[in-house]
Amino acid sequence: MRSLPFTWGTRTYVMGILNLTPDSFSGDGLLGNLSGLADLTGLSQARRFIAAGADILDIGGESTRPGAEAVSADEELGRVLPVVRALAENFPDTTISIDTYKAAVAEAALDAGARMVNDVWGLRADPAMAPLIAARGVPVIIMHNRLTPNSAEVRERLGGRYVGVAYDNLIEDTKSELMESVAIAHAAGVRDEQVILDPGIGFGKTVAQNLELLNRLGEFRALGYPLLIGTSRKSFIGYTLDLPPTERLEGTAATIAIGIARGADVIRVHDVAHMVRVARMTDAIVRPR
């Protein structure tokens, strides 16, 4: 597996989201009624993202919105593999990430040209995932997740949010549970240099908890790993500003700027062109050369 072009601490890396689902919370799902053209649609979106400055393309075939139904591995593979193959063939210099918690999907995507794995369940959902990451030697994004369906509240205009999620200490509990996932990785033979941590903003946290987590992101630097944040268009922005997903650009930009200032190394976003500019401007302030 080729080494990836990341030099942590020098600049912020931008991950563009390609949702191959019909039910994305953000309204950007590329599948819809275009299942037969998903690879072509993904190519077009990817070309725009790369031209705008995306470093990574994150390909996902299962929605993580509150209330979304689980997708079988076979269905997920049917959605993502044609697109991963097409992207790897057409954009060989761009890093492709597979957004999945299923080892079978990750393995097939890596065979098809993906070069990193984004696991929203932090290696806890599938015991075969950590050994796969170790065997392939690829980077893995380990995300914190306390998502439970019965703690979700869904409003038609603003989407889903989590309520009544209990933490003894939000930051310390999140850090501790992330390190438990890192321990799973280590036990399987995953090296530290493969690990990227994501505190899981929007996953099993209330609006207030998400805001606190973002503001205190710098406290996760002590864990010693690069940090990714995925705040783009999320419901905590919508509930804060009383805006639907399609009107959360400025709110997302604020979270990205604060996140970078607090230590984020990678930002996972829908609006790549705008957020590349936000990242470059914020980097010029907090990472002057």
Catalytically active residues are 234, 268
C-alpha 164/C-alpha 14 separation (Å) is 32
The DSSP symbol for 227 reads B
Q: Which residues contact 87 (CB under 8 A, 6 or more apart)?
A: 42, 43, 46, 57, 59, 94, 96, 113
Output 116-119 pairs: Cβ under 8 A, ≥24 positions apart: 116/4, 116/56, 116/140, 116/141, 117/141, 118/58, 118/60, 118/143, 118/198, 119/143
Q: Which residues contact 68 (CB under 8 A, 6 or more apart)?
A: 23, 62
Please, is 120 exposed, middle or buried when counting C-beta atoms within 10 Å of its C-beta (0-12, 13-18, 19+)? buried
Q: How many residues does the chain have?
A: 289
Q: Which residue in 203, 208, 193 sits closest to 230, CA to CA?
A: 203
Q: What is the CA radius of gyration of the chain?
A: 17
Q: Which residues contact 260 (CB under 8 A, 6 or more apart)?
A: 12, 267, 279, 282, 283, 286
Q: Which residue in 104, 100, 131 sits closest to 117, CA to CA?
A: 100
